[in-house]
Amino acid sequence: MKSEIGASIAKSRANLGLTQDQFGRKYSVSGPAIFKFEKGYVRPSLELWLAMARDMSLSEQTSVLMWVRGKLPKKFQDFISLEPKTARESAAGYGKSQAEQRALKSDPAAARKAVLADRSAPRGLKELLKDADLWALYQPTGHEIHTLRTVFGSLGDGTKSAYREALRLVREFGSN
């Protein structure tokens, strides 16, 4: 009955070199409760799990997703991915190898073409890149296009003007 949360707790406790009782005292729970969490017999409350996960340097989003996923029947647990959406999109890299991804970041025309051909690319970004006047005016770099796709694309389709504003932000805060 091993659980993902239980395995994380056991690993954290072992890394700290603490007994279950000592680890439990950190969170005002008993050693036997830690044993039950580690074995997956019971799950900690969300509040307790978030405190433990924070000490494990897990993001709050990942922690909540782990907790929710642990509540689901096994056959549905794979429906929840713990990987942030931006990381999945970045890793997808428009279906390109790492060398091809680097080339896209350095070649704005190729990055533009790749995004326009990508059916999963945000609608607003595609509209921005299709607009010849805006393309000529802003002349985004391949890296800026990649940043717009991976960072702002995870927020949804957006509008052409929202992506234009996002490009301004990328430039202003020096993500280049």
Give the DSSP letter of residue 39: H
Count of alpha carbons within 13 angstroms of residue 56, beta-carbon side: 23
Write out the chain's pLDDT in tens, 176 residues.
Answer: 678 899 999 999 999 999 999 999 999 999 999 999 999 999 999 999 999 999 988 888 888 888 888 888 888 877 777 665 544 444 344 455 566 666 666 788 888 888 888 887 888 888 888 888 888 888 888 888 888 887 777 666 678 888 888 888 888 876 44
Whether residues 130 and 161 share a domain: the answer is yes
Same domain, 12 and 72: yes
Same domain, 33 and 89: no
Same domain, 113 and 50: no
- Distance (Å, rounded) from C-alpha 76 to C-alpha 53? 23
Final residue of a domain: which of 28, 56, 77?
77
- Do residues 124 and 162 both lie within one domain? yes
Whether the full predicted model's pTM is greater than 0.75, yes or no, is no
| Whether 128 and 93 share a structural domain | yes
Q: Note whether 159 and 130 are same-domain residues.
A: yes
CATH number at residue 44: 1.10.260.40
Helix (H, G, I), strand (E, B) or coil at 156: coil
Tell me: do 16 and 95 sit in the same domain.
Answer: no
Number of domains in the chain: 2
Residue 27: CA count within 13 A, CB half-sphere: 26
Q: Which amino acid is at 18?
A: L
Q: Which domain holds residue 69?
A: 4-77
pLDDT of residue 50: 93
Which ranges constitute the DSSP H helices of the chain? 4-16, 20-26, 31-39, 46-55, 60-71, 74-77, 85-92, 98-106, 108-117, 123-130, 132-138, 142-147, 160-172
Q: Rg (Cα) of the chain, in Å, rounded?
A: 22
pLDDT at 116: 86
| 89 and 163 co-located in one domain | yes
pLDDT at 10: 93
Whole-Å CA distances, 155 to 24, 40, 41, 128, 159: 38, 34, 37, 16, 11
- Considering the domain architecture, whether residues 9 and 56 belong to the same structural domain is answered as yes
51, 114: one domain = no
Q: Does 99 share its domain with 164?
A: yes
Of residues 21, 11, 83, the one with CA closest to residue 53: 11
